[in-house]
Amino acid sequence: MSELIDKYGRELNYLRLSVTDRCNLRCYYCMPETGIHFERQENLLTWQEMETLCRLFCDMGIQKIRITGGEPFVRPGLMPFLEQLRIQKGLEEITITTNGTLLESHIPALQKAGIRKINLSLDSLNRQRFFEITRRDAFDQVYAMLFRLLDAGFELKLNCVVSAGKNIEDIIPFVELGRNNPIAVRFLEEMPFNGGDHDYQSTWNYQDIYNHIQTHYSQIEKIQSEPSSTSINYQVPGFQGSFGIIPSFSRTFCGTCNRIRLSATGELRTCLYGPPVLQLRNLLRSGVSIDQIRSAIISAIGKREKDGFAAEQANAEIHHSMSILGG
């Protein structure tokens, strides 16, 4: 029986684990062009510490772990860690969110480890717009990786952050990718976690995105999603793929959220919009017992806020870079 149940009776069985705050791209909605104040190596959880915490979380009821960053593949040692992670008792699924630029050499190892689900961050299908968004000239590499992953048999989702004046022109081409490819595109509302590089002013919410798509297709079918899904999912009849819209900023999915987040520095968050509720790195290094850490986690989960709006009221620093928060 799961020990990770909040005061509203919601069971938390999904951990988003950030393994690094570093990234080789500089997406405008995530961090300034010059980067952020990256943590010193000694402030990051070691791979062994992450393994210890993941073992504990799985023992407490976590069934799915998503590996995020920053860009997870910039940190040396990721693949050996994933090899250890996949044998954790109780863990049913490991997924990875990546920008795809460093993935090529790791594909055989991922297949061997049984990791089949990849979320590829790609905000434009136009080389110039990609450069303007990421501030790096890597479009050809990432676009090729999209089809490389499909050819290799991975279950692929594309994450596209939608913002007025940036990539509205890409919405329909992304949907069209699903005409002949078994790909799931996820359009996300922009959120204000950009490290202070620009003023958050996106005017496109989930309804705007859907309305834009609807004007281009005579028929769109809604797909049944899991109760804990953050995306509202659809398919154009006859298409191999699908598309979904994630109300990241509108937060319509909070009532069924089953996620917790652990940063690369050991900060546990029970809500993306809320403050850290526990510093697990410090607990580990203080020498307390695993049972004491377990009790501290249960106590923190029990105080989880009802939704992202309530959590935001308790958070004085909501504009951290998404690279720090772990996506």
Strand segments, DSSP code E, in the chain are 14-18, 64-68, 93-98, 117-121, 155-162, 184-189, 221-222, 232-235, 242-246, 259-262, 267-269, 278-279
C-alpha dist (Å) from residue 99 to 103, 109, 119, 274 = 8, 18, 8, 25
- 121-148: average pLDDT: 97
> What letter does residue 201 receive in the DSSP assignment?
-
Which residues, listed in sequence order, are joined to residue 171 by a DSSP beta bridge?
Answer: none
Q: What are φ and ψ of residue 29, in 5° steps?
A: -85, 0
Look up tokens 């860009």; give the residue: 71
> What letter does residue 39 receive in the DSSP assignment?
P
Rounded CA-CA distance 202/191 in Å is: 8
Using the predicted structure, report yes or no on whether residue 94 has a pLDDT greater than 60. Answer: yes
Rounded CA-CA distance 65/17 in Å is: 7
DSSP string, 59-75: HHT--EEEEESS-GGGS
Give the DSSP H/E element, type plus range, for residue 9: none
Rounded CA-CA distance 112/80 in Å is: 12
- 289-305: average pLDDT: 95
281 — pLDDT class (breaks 50, 70, 90) = very high
Model pLDDT, residue 322: 53
| pTM for the predicted model, two decimal places | 0.90
Model pLDDT, residue 266: 98
Q: Which of 52-66, 151-165, 200-214, 276-290 has the lowest mean pLDDT?
A: 200-214
User: In terms of pLDDT, which residue wins out, 165 or 326?
Assistant: 165
Q: Which CATH architecture has domain 14-325?
A: Alpha-Beta Barrel (3.20)
- 240-257: average pLDDT: 77
Using the predicted structure, report yes or no on whether residue 53 has a pLDDT greater than 90. Answer: yes
Rounded CA-CA distance 274/137 in Å is: 34
Model pLDDT, residue 253: 52
- 171-199: average pLDDT: 84
Tell me which residue of 154, 133, 132 sits closest to 145, measured CA to CA: 154
Using the predicted structure, report yes or no on whether residue 109 has a pLDDT greater than 90. Answer: yes
Q: Is 220 within 8 Å of 236 (Cβ atoms)?
A: yes
Tokens of 82: 């994933």
Q: Is 180 within 8 Å of 194 (Cβ atoms)?
A: no
286-290: long-range contacts at Cβ-Cβ below 8 A with a sequence spacing of 24 or more? 290/52, 290/56
Tokens of 219: 């028929």
Q: Could you tell me how far CA 23 lies from the centroid of its own chain?
A: 14
83 — pLDDT class (breaks 50, 70, 90) = very high
Q: How close are the terminal C-alpha atoms of the chain, in Å?
A: 28
- State the chain's mean pLDDT as an integer: 90
